[in-house]
Amino acid sequence: MTKKELIESLAGEGATKATIERALNQLARIVAAELVESGEITLPGIGKLHVADVEARKGRNPQTGEEIYIPAKKRVKFRAAKELADHVNV
């Protein structure tokens, strides 16, 4: 589902498309800020997003086969809520 399709689906519940789009954009800003500040955020009924550290490692350039250094970084991970996982695995 694209952002446009999500907005149209939610707008069918009585809110305007512009209001829904502003709310989705604000949600994205809040999630990003909270991940930077505390490292995790729970979205009730959906799941939990959290920041995990990935260690530096060696890799290979697939085109040349040359060994390269991949620096350490942070990655956002998602863990689905039990309700969502149960709904998908019916």
Task: Write down the mean pLDDT value for the chain.
Answer: 93
Closest CA to 83 of 40, 42, 46, 41: 46
For residue 41, the cross-strand partners are 49
Domain range list for the chain? 1-37, 40-90
Cα–Cα distance between 35 and 51 in angstroms, integer? 7
Q: Tell me the CATH number for domain 40-90.
A: 4.10.520.10
Check pLDDT > 80 for residue 57: yes
pLDDT digits over 5-28, tens only? 988 888 877 789 999 999 999 999
And the tokens for 43? 């979205």
